[in-house]
Amino acid sequence: MDQPADHPRILTGKIGVLLVNLGTPDAPDESSVRRYLAEFLSDRRVVEIPQIFWQPILRGLVLRTRPRKSAHAYSQVWTEEGSPLAFHTAAQARALQARLGDAAIVRHAMRYQKPAMAAELDRLLADGCERILVAPLYPQYSGATTASALDAMANWIKDRRRLSALRTLPPYFDDPLAITALHKDLARQIDALDFAPELLVLSFHGMPERTLRLGDPYHCHCHKTARLLGETFAQSHPELKVATSFQSRFGRAKWLEPATDDVIKVQGANGIRRMVIAAPGFSSDCLETIEELGIRGREDFEAAGGTHFAALTCLNASEAGMDMLEALVRRELAGWI
């Protein structure tokens, strides 16, 4: 049977890679932050309270009070290029595209807000991608991050008639590629400082403690990343102590401990004067790394008696970070390219 003359042209034969990060408001103002928080905090993976109870709290209290405070925090880190998370993730996608060349089409998306995962998957499909690797940029697995991104992918699948073959990037919390990249980049930053730190704090995003009891492996993944990094620093920087903590507590529930702000204050009060802090659970710098650790962390440390403090950057699109990301992606594309 001949193809009808009006049949739409369908591209085929391409391979796609979609890098996925958490998300960010469109602007550092209350209305933009409110839209972002409404979507983020309505995700049942993020807040595991029955919606019949949670939505009145969210709409009646949280979204009336938190956006102003968060907008102020975002305004402190916003740049001419926009949100740090947005431009760093875009830079990673561009760098990966340059490294992969014609082997794959690389795009990036956010789980919440823009660019939306469904829209970017549609673009890859329209570009002829018959095979797509969805790569959540979360080294440690959590239901609230990795699984939520896969939920969004599943929702896209349910709403589409024509689909590509799909693969997903596994967590890489203990992958030698990740540990090597983190150690190389953090050591480079430490060695470039004008002081010799006594303590390196590895701060991971917090989760409610109940997620651990319910079987979420996130807590264990974070501690393994920290242990492996600590072992590498014991070889390269034997005088440097390493501590692990969890940041960004929210609400009244008990969260994973120790809390980063408490660790900073206690270490300062106990005589530590030179501290560096890093966030090996974040693939890109964002509000939590720049404002919470870099600005408020410094204030807490100096108030506790500390004299020298530095918040180290995430891997972002650094050479070490892109070496790792390219190797991880190429491994998952094996047999396709």
User: Residue 163: is its pLDDT beyond 90?
Assistant: yes
- In this prediction, residue 138 carries a pLDDT of 98
- In this prediction, residue 251 carries a pLDDT of 79
Q: What pLDDT digit, counting tens, does each position of 182-192 carry?
A: 999 999 999 99
Strand order in the sheet with 129-136: 105-112, 14-23, 129-136, 165-168
Which residues, 6+ apart, have CB-to-CB distance to 191 below 8 Å? Answer: none
User: Residue 237: is its pLDDT beyond 90?
Assistant: yes
The pLDDT mean for the chain works out to: 96
Q: How large is the average pLDDT for residues 203-213?
A: 96
Which residues, 6+ apart, have CB-to-CB distance to 1 below 8 Å? Answer: none
pTM comes to 0.95
Q: How large is the average pLDDT for residues 208-214?
A: 95
Which residues, 6+ apart, have CB-to-CB distance to 133 below 8 Å? Answer: 15, 16, 17, 18, 104, 166, 167, 168, 169, 329, 332, 333, 336
Report d(CA 110, CA 136) in Å as an integer: 9
Confidence of residue 165 (pLDDT cuts 50, 70, 90): very high
User: Residue 8: is its pLDDT beyond 70?
Assistant: no
Instruction: Provide the β-strand partners of residue 205.
Output: 247
Q: What pLDDT digit, counting tens, does each position of 21-68 carry?
A: 999 999 999 999 999 999 999 999 999 999 999 999 999 999 999 999
- What would the DSSP string read from start to end of 168-214? EPPP-TT-HHHHHHHHHHHHHHHHTSSS--SEEEEEEE--BHHHHHT
Confidence of residue 6 (pLDDT cuts 50, 70, 90): low
Q: According to DSSP H, which parts of the chain are helical?
A: 30-40, 51-57, 63-77, 84-100, 117-126, 148-158, 176-191, 209-213, 218-236, 260-269, 287, 297-303, 319-332
Local structure of 117: helix, strand or coil: helix
Instruction: Provide the β-strand partners of residue 166.
Output: 132
Q: How large is the average pLDDT for residues 96-108?
A: 98
Query: Do residues 205 and 247 make contact, with C-beta atoms less than 8 angstroms apart?
Result: yes
Percent of the chain with pLDDT over 90: 95
User: Residue 7: is its pLDDT beyond 90?
Assistant: no
Angle of helix 218-236 relative to helix 176-191, nearest 10 degrees?
Answer: 50
Fold annotation for 176-311: Rossmann fold (3.40.50)
Report d(CA 150, CA 153) in Å as an integer: 5
Domain boundaries defined on the chain: 176-311
Report d(CA 15, CA 102) in Å as an integer: 9
Percent of the chain with pLDDT over 70: 97
Q: How large is the average pLDDT for residues 74-86?
A: 96
The encoded tokens of residue 264 equal: 């900073």
Query: Do residues 319 and 118 make contact, with C-beta atoms less than 8 angstroms apart?
Result: no
Indicate the residue type of 293: L
Which residues, 6+ apart, have CB-to-CB distance to 37 below 8 Å? Answer: 62, 63, 66, 67, 70
Indicate the residue type of 284: S
Query: Do residues 329 and 133 make contact, with C-beta atoms less than 8 angstroms apart?
Result: yes
